[in-house]
Structure 1
Amino acid sequence: MSTSRMDDLQKRARRAILSHALFRLESGLTIALTLLLAWFLPRPFAWWRGWYWLALGGIAWVLIVITSITDEASAQAALMQMLSEAPRPPRLRSPHYREKVEQALEYRQKIEQALLGMRAGILRDYLLQTMVDLSEWLRMIYALAERLDVYEHDEILQRDKAAVEEAISALQRQLRTAPDAATRAQIESLLAARREQQESLTKLQGLMAQAQFRLEETLSALGTAYSQFLMIGAQKAESTAHQELAQRMQAQVQELEDILTSMQQVYDASHSPRSAEKREEE
């Protein structure tokens, strides 16, 4: 992980802990109680001054903030809140892909629980840094499952798959009976566009099959990462193990990003012959 990303994560963790300390329930109740007492009971004793409530409330609030920042349990609660800001799973129509996304989310939750169960120290800081890569990995898994789900329910795509072969056959028949060279040239142009579309659809179908296998593989890799995370947390691995784990996570992210890019490019190409299809209808 680069130094800039490490610094960013540390800043996020500090902000999360400070925000938790400032806005936790006890802080809000202290402020509210102070204001109520200062307004409704300004002088409970003859020697009492109204601003005493504000001073005592301010001191109590500062003590709550300080103890929250230094308290291990409060710090863990703040980190849990920060980690929960991960990408949310997409809404999927396919039960199969919903199951895969839930499996990935379960691994993430287990890793978070293991991380927050560790004592503060350098090792936990190292593993906290890997959460950035884990979040990106989960985001790619969500994106891949969502893309597969969308493509499988794309009515236009399904229609094109069924229509392209019929359109090619019809154009071939028209080509054989074309009355002149100009008509043949136009039909040949349309036929080339349809064949290109057919090739793109076939390629997309192959990429979708690869993506489905890739989704299974990356979930297995996520399970392996969870086991390695536990080993590192138990200090049963070498000191460089967290770096190797981060590198493997980054490699998974890159591979998923590559296949998503390829799928989008081929999907766009499969829809590109629209103008040719329009000319065909005319």
Structure 2
Amino acid sequence: MSSNSTRESIRQQAQSAIFLNALMRPQSLTIVGLAVICWIFSVGFLGATSAIWLGFGAVAELVFVLATISDPQQNAEAVGRMFAQRYDVNEIRNQHARQRVQQAIEYQENIKALTQTHGGAMRLQIETTADEVNHWLEQLFKLARRIDVYESSDIINRDRVRVPNELQTLRLRLDKEQDERVKVELREAIRNKELQLSHLRDLETNVKRADVQLDNTLAALGTIYTQIQLLDAKSIDGRSTNRLRQEIVDEVMSLKDTLEALEEVQATGMYAVS
């Protein structure tokens, strides 16, 4: 999936979360409830039938929902809840990865909080940057989960110890074997075992890359947060904000590259995992 399509998917999910948040707020439920009660109990109004309450309720509900979904603070809270539900840091078993994701979430929350301290174009710029950070956090969470997949595989953990020993044993047998037919079989077994070991090493290398990427990403996110704090009204239309967003895009793409490399190795070969 491309960066643009992924971002559009997140935007659509956020819009759904914002709309549902508006519908489920106590004020919204009260409007609907009162309208239905007045209709059920046939409460008249200025000589009109009780059905008019359904019309009043529909109009009032529409006005309330439109007002709510245009409220930046309500939108931020709805999107925040969506991310909290979709990306539960407690699901990450690797302690190092879990800590890094938790720290990244804290940066994300602080960046969202900065939107409440500004207005106008400045606020819009920070909100746009916060949207990019949400995408960044999604990739970070996926990367942490991929590390979990690797570390929790009993087969992989077993073979990391067993395969090198088995390969060494096969090579020793080949050196001592005299029968040519047996040597042919041993050479084939060695080739298969070498391929298996190669897959294991590819996995291990990519997991190490992912672990380092978590640290790099957290450091970059901290830098981005500091830069956002330093933004002022003079810089919102200049190169500073454009450079800031480009840095975020670059970091997201770097995360995606690492994640895709790890997924490719984990999805193919003899150690395919979902």
TM-score band w.r.t. shorter chain: 0.7 to 0.9
Give the number of aligned pairs: 266
Q: List per-residue Cα deviations over 1:171-197 (Å, max 9, x = no partner).
A: 112212434333212211211222233
Q: Is the 8 A contact 1:16 1:79 kept in 2?
A: no
Q: Is the 8 A contact 1:97 1:145 kept in 2?
A: yes
Correspondence for 1:261: 260
Name the amino acid aligned to 1:25. Answer: P
Name the CA distance, whole Å, in 2 between partners of 1:15 and 1:196.
47
- SS state of the match for residue 137, structure 2? helix
Alignment of 1:223-234 (within 5 A): 223-232=222-231, 234=232
Name the amino acid aligned to 1:103. Answer: Q
Within the alignment, does 1:114 sit opposite 2:114 as a pair?
yes
Correspondence for 2:30: 29
Correspondence for 1:76: 73
- SS state of the match for residue 49, structure 1? coil
Q: Is the 8 A contact 1:172 1:191 kept in 2?
A: yes
Q: List per-residue Cα deviations over 1:219-278 (Å, max 9, x = no partner).
A: 01111112222333x4363523232222111111111121222233444567369xxxxx
- SS state of the match for residue 235, structure 2? coil
Specify the structure having the higher radius of gyration (Cα). 1
Q: Is the 8 A contact 1:231 1:237 kept in 2?
A: no
Name the CA distance, whole Å, in 2 between partners of 1:72 and 1:195.
58
Name the CA distance, whole Å, in 2 between partners of 1:122 and 1:4.
26
Within the alignment, does 1:127 sit opposite 2:126 as a pair?
yes
Structure 1: stretches of 5+ with no match in the other structure: 274-282
Name the CA distance, whole Å, in 2 between partners of 1:18 and 1:146.
29
Alignment of 1:95-174 (within 5 A): 95-119=95-119, 121-174=120-173
Name the CA distance, whole Å, in 2 between partners of 1:194 and 1:12.
46
- CA shift for structure 1 position 67: 6.1
- CA shift for structure 1 position 18: 6.2
Which segment drifts farther, 12-21 or 258-267?
12-21
Structure 2: stretches of 5+ with no match in the other structure: none
- CA shift for structure 1 position 207: 3.0
Which segment drifts farther, 196-205 or 140-149?
196-205
- CA shift for structure 1 position 34: 2.8
Q: Is the 8 A contact 2:31 2:60 kept in 1?
A: no
Name the CA distance, whole Å, in 2 between partners of 1:246 and 1:257.
16
Correspondence for 1:175: 174
Name the CA distance, whole Å, in 2 between partners of 1:249 and 1:115.
17
- CA shift for structure 1 position 167: 0.7
Q: List per-residue Cα deviations over 1:110-153 (Å, max 9, x = no partner).
A: 1222224432x333333333344222211111112112222223
Q: Is the 8 A contact 1:21 1:64 kept in 2?
A: no
Change (3 A) 1:229 1:25: same
